[in-house]
Structure 1
Amino acid sequence: MSESVPVRCPACRSEHHYEAPVYPCACGAPLAPRLDPDGTATPVTHRAWDDEWITVSCSACGRESEWPRPELGCPCGTVLRIPPSGPSTADEPRRSPAPRRAFQPVTIRTARDAVTAAAVYLRWLGYRDIRRADQRPTSGIGLAAHGLLAQVDPTVNPASRRDVECLWLTAMTESAHCVYFSLAGYTPDARTRADSLHVPLFVLDLTGTPQPVNSQADELDASGAG
């Protein structure tokens, strides 16, 4: 459970109570930013991408991640930013990995093969009930499983920073983890952003074996779905 703090709108003086949303850390623990009960909410007068995020630390695994800045919409029309305070909270310990058999890849010759290879790999990691995602991603094909969103990009263009951010934001709205598979790799900006958001990145080689690109992908490959 996240904490609730009192909030007064400086525009209309209305009193509210705000509770920060809880999202899953990459380790599986529920995570919410700690709020300052004595802080003053400030109206949002303009927006910039870098101002939309705060860094929080998971007390279960120590991982630092970027999360949407806490905001509250007042009925008067004012959008208020709620000041955070201190580290985030996590209520569950990190999950232990499950043993797995050797991975059996699927050779990639077509875009459909790339999606099949990613799905086979996700099953090998321990995810079940893999299906086509409800929301179509910015590029490629979306896959979903319980607690997971995956994007498979079989195009000849490297995945962009925007592709990674859109996948992460969609996963956040569904309180799910996310993972990206690409045939053509990733732009430098995409890799940097994925590292800051802790999104596992994989490149699919033509043998159908996903190759980890960043440390988050290495960790997922080693530990599985948990």
Structure 2
Amino acid sequence: MPSLQHNFIPKLKDHLLSRLYQYEYDGDECQFTAVDHNHLHFVNNLNNVTELKTFRVNYTSYDVRRQQDFMQPGHGCTIMVLSREDGPGIHPFWYAQVIRAFRIPIIHVAPDTCNRSQQIMEVLWVRWLSTEPGYRWGFKEACLPKVGFVPATNDDAFGFLEPSLVICGCHLIPAFSQGRTDTLLRHGESIARQPGETDDWCAFYVNMYVLSFYLPYIF
């Protein structure tokens, strides 16, 4: 299994344990103890993990129609989830790039577990983006929302997400005028970048569109 961080496995176990204990997702994974981690076993030591080449997300469009996004994890696969932040002026969504999607067989043997049999858990490994501070957007300002990758020096730059929390895919447009940088992730090729790329766009605009259609009047 690929890794960008030395704490990849501990963070993965924190994520899986939070779901096993049915903790409500708020964006911050609960940090469990080493004893808790030892109670969570990967079947055959992660050798049975399946890397999913595609995944689907069902959602309802603005015109109240059932839709489905068919996505391939990797560069350009970006998603949106509901923001878990409160307060005035908070952006309603969080955005992330899906690096990989996994199907992981696990066994949980903690004394308080309610299921000691093998379970299959699906996980998205993501690279988070954050909104640009102080930037104003919306129809009144005639500006699209602007986001950028969270710097890799931040412990929350990469994380894991339950697929059912994904609203739908989204389209990010590079802010070409701001150029590219290697300050968000160390210079060089990475599993989080497109093959051949050694840096990232400084920022992106979140594309928005309104679906409209014409219904003729019948007299």
TM-score normalized by the length of structure 2: 0.25
Instruction: Identify which of structures 1 and 2 has the higher relative contact order when contacts are C-alpha pairs closer than 8 Å and 6+ apart.
Output: 2
Larger fraction in helix: 1
TM-score normalized by the length of structure 1: 0.25
